[in-house]
Amino acid sequence: MLKLLAFFLLLLALAFGFAQVADTPGHVLLQWGETEYRVSLLIGLAGFLAGFVALMILWSLLRLIFRLPSLIGLANRMRKREKGQLAVARGLVAVGVGDRRQAERHARDSERLLGNEPLALLLKAQTAQLAGNEKGAELAFKAMLESPDTHGLGLRGLFVEATRRGDGEASRMLAEEAWRSSPDAGWANDAMLRMTAQEGDWRGAIGVVEQGVSRRLIDKAEGRRLRSVLLTAAALETQERNPEEALALAQDALRLAPALVPAAVIVARRLSAQGDTGKAARVLETAWKAGPHPDLAEAHLAARPGDSALDRLKRARTLEKLAPNARESRFILARAAIDAREFAVAREAIEALVLQKATARACLLMAELEDAESGNEGLVRSWLARASRAPRDPAWVAEDSVSDHWKPVSPSGVIGAYRWQEPPQAQDAAIRARIDADRFEVPAPLEIASAEPMAPSTALPPPVMELPTVAPLAEPSPAVATTPAPEAPRPIEEVVQPFIPDDPGPDPDAPKPAKRFRLFG
């Protein structure tokens, strides 16, 4: 609206000006030698403007004529660049779909048309990677280092190639250079963090995390989690040679993550060694509320050295009250009850565990209870057999790795990847199936030349409390050799009785065996 108003005002001003000039008396005199040209003021002004326009047109034509060669060259270059960009676009599409021949053709065209422009070099490098030409990819990425615009991209590509061929030293140098030259490159920060953690340089990794948080490459919550894990790793490394420093590091880790199990255990054990059992118990109970764990339970029971078995049972009941529905509460209560010879309490806790889920740890604990309470060898063997085939209990799991203790870094270098959870059961099932197949495999019958027909074979029954095996050969007749007929394997439910088998137990006058099956320590 304002522009339209300004346009009309300009037209009005021009019209008013021409009207004033037309009404103003006067003339314009142009003398050329002895010839004079006399016109009115308005005609003279119009002629001046027309001459000025003609001169401008003439100057433009002359300038166009003189610039014509350069304009033709510019048009050729623009057309060539357009073709090169089209070749780059088609080449990137070919790389995306995995068409190596088309990608190579477009890469050659883009290199011919665009030279060492960033997109042409990128297409050349990706085409070489698609074709498995590591040397060609490295040459393309090294060419990118010569331009400031593509320096970071070249470092990234060389880092990927060095990582692929397993050159850790070259990968470290490239990541450090990118980390220094490109502070905002997230991949460089992640690579430095992963490498320092895999090397066990916990303090260096903490410095990388802090810089990543300050550069906003890592959010604050993730930064606190990473720092807590790295501080705990440093505490584990120094707890033997410098317990006080380990305590300080673990306390810093707990301030960032109060539920971190290894940090809570380190702090509690050190405080117990200093005689501050009350504070140690509070630290463990805080972590226990967030997530019950057997390491926390063991540290809580051992918080005060010299406690009797009944005192440890009281501590176990305290943990059970804090998390009454947790399986670990029943485990630690059963463990302490067996040590205190409170077998009724232990049996109630273990049977609840077995009815909920009969894992290997629950079956082993039941075997220990039967051994301690009754000494019934049949029940002990039954529970041990069941434990060998029971599902696995929770463990520290990260990616495809299962560990019985916490680790700060996973095999691939991820910090804090280990979680307390049930490990995958499919692998165990496959291994057991393979073992069963080998165990129950029937050997090929022996070929023995004989003119007489083969007598039918007999088989002895398998032992009552053992897994089914291949039956032995019957006593052959003097003239004929016989081959065994395999006994069909019986289900494990027929061999293992979970609670009350028909076995009456051993002779009460016989001495009890000295076997103990313990889950901890």
* Amino acid 271: pLDDT: 93
* Amino acid 401: pLDDT: 87
* Amino acid 116: pLDDT: 79
- CA-nearest of 520, 494, 500, 518 to 371 is 518
* Amino acid 518: pLDDT: 40
- CA-nearest of 115, 188, 114 to 151 is 188
Distance CA 227, CA 218 (A): 12
* Amino acid 266: pLDDT: 95
For CA atoms 510, 511, 514, 518, give the dihedral sign. positive
C-alpha Rg value of the chain to the nearest Å = 44
Q: 436: Cβ–Cβ under 8 A, 6 or more apart, which residues? A: 489
Tell me the CA end-to-end span of the chain in Å, nearest whole number.
88
Give the number of other CB atoms < 10 A from CB of residue 19. 11
Query: pLDDT per residue over 377-415, tens digit each?
Result: 999 999 999 998 899 899 999 988 899 899 999 988 899
* Amino acid 497: pLDDT: 40
Q: Provide the 3-class DSSP secondary structure of residue 86.
A: helix
Contact 457, 482 (CB under 8 A): yes
- CA-nearest of 144, 208, 146, 199 to 179 is 208
The label of the residue with tokens 């440093």 reads 234
* Amino acid 439: pLDDT: 45
* Amino acid 428: pLDDT: 52
* Amino acid 100: pLDDT: 87
What is the share, in percent, of the chain residues with pLDDT greater than 70? 81
Enumerate the β-bridge partners of residue 31. Answer: 36
* Amino acid 165: pLDDT: 86
* Amino acid 509: pLDDT: 52
Q: Token pair for residue 395?
A: 């463990």
Strands 395-398 and 419-421 come out as: antiparallel
* Amino acid 458: pLDDT: 37
Q: Token pair for residue 452?
A: 């007489």
Query: Can you list the residues of the chain whose pLDDT is less than 50?
Result: 430-431, 435, 439-506, 508, 510-521
* Amino acid 264: pLDDT: 94
* Amino acid 205: pLDDT: 93
